[in-house]
Amino acid sequence: MTESVLIGPVAAPELHVMTFNVRRPVAQLSSRSPDRWETRRPAVGALLRAERPSLLGVQEAMPEQAAFLRRALGGGYHSVGRGRKSDGTGEGCPIIFDAERLDLEAWTQQSLSDSPDTPGSTSWGSLVPRILVGAVFRDRETSSRFLAVNTHFDHLSRRSRLRSAERIRSLVAAQGLPAIVTGDLNTGEHTAPIRALLAPEDDDTPTLEDAWSVAGERLTAEWGTFPNYRAPRHDRKRIDWIATSPRIEVVRAGINTRRPAGVWASDHLPVQAVLRIPATEDTA
């Protein structure tokens, strides 16, 4: 069925997390192209209204798209994150969250470069700026605090993907909170960037785990997440990721192949997970 729900709204202590590359608008496409934002926009809205994730990491979102996503989810949703250009415009990786459930304590945006505090900077072979958005939240229902990081790795430079993974792993380790990383990492399993992201920082304990691999229940097949408006296939890579700290329980996970009204919402498939985050020491 194209209109069914994969997970939908959840109640505490469960937290519904989604990562979704919504594909930026592209000018001068034919009216029949499935890539047209005008064609896809109703499907994106319908999918989000049905799923209503507690926390949504978005990639490739232009400002007008991010505003549409917030409206689709409802007035209780807020977001953090700017565009990746030096003036804060352009594609972004916003974190959109249910503000009635989650209190935002702090947030940051960094360039994935040798100059993380310089907006719009590039390094490591990336031809365009790459960013991460990080936010610390407190769950009003459970009092748990956690770090959320959302990102979009470079699609061309292997070195950039590796260095970006190392940067995010170090950020998670330094923060010391249970962490959720969402993103289009442009790489599949068993690659150097994924090994770096999931590697221990200081001891033998992994900093992060692949939510799909450790999920208590998998709701779908392991589809490749970049079908590019074609039927999903098993022999394609999962390049869209949710990674979690070992302290976080991944109750269930799935890759969403829904097509509202028969329309693909994006060239990527959303990846979703239901999590249980433990109480942190300072809130226990």
CA proximity to 157, closest of 133, 182, 180, 129: 129
- State yes or no: pLDDT of 3 exceeds 60: no
Decide if 284 is inside a domain: no
CATH number at residue 219: 3.60.10.10
pLDDT digits (tens, 9 = 90+) for 9-18: 999 999 999 9
Percent of the chain with pLDDT over 70: 97
Which region among 4-8, 196-200, 202-206, 246-250 has the lowest average model confidence (pLDDT)? Answer: 202-206
Helices (H) and strands (E) in the chain, counts: 5, 13
Decide if 7 is inside a domain: no
Decide if 102 is inside a domain: yes
Decide if 206 is inside a domain: yes
pLDDT value, residue 240? 99
User: What is the chain's percent helix, strand, coil content, to nearest 5?
Assistant: 20, 30, 50
Decide if 157 is inside a domain: yes
pLDDT value, residue 281? 65
Decide if 146 is inside a domain: yes
Decide if 236 is inside a domain: yes
pLDDT digits (tens, 9 = 90+) for 64-110: 999 999 999 999 999 999 999 999 999 999 999 999 999 999 999 99
Pairwise pLDDT comparison (151 vs 32), residue with the higher score: 151
**Count of structural domains within the chain:** 1
Question: Quick count: other Cβ atoms within 10 Å of Cβ 206?
Answer: 16
Domain that holds residue 148: 14-276
pLDDT digits (tens, 9 = 90+) for 218-229: 999 999 999 999
Decide if 282 is inside a domain: no
Q: Which residues contact 10 (CB under 8 A, 6 or more apart)?
A: 16, 54, 274
- State yes or no: pLDDT of 283 exceeds 80: no
- Can you tell me whether residue 165 is helix, strand or coil? helix
Segment 1-12 shows an average pLDDT of: 84
pLDDT value, residue 200? 83
Cα distance between residue 51 and residue 42, in whole Å = 14
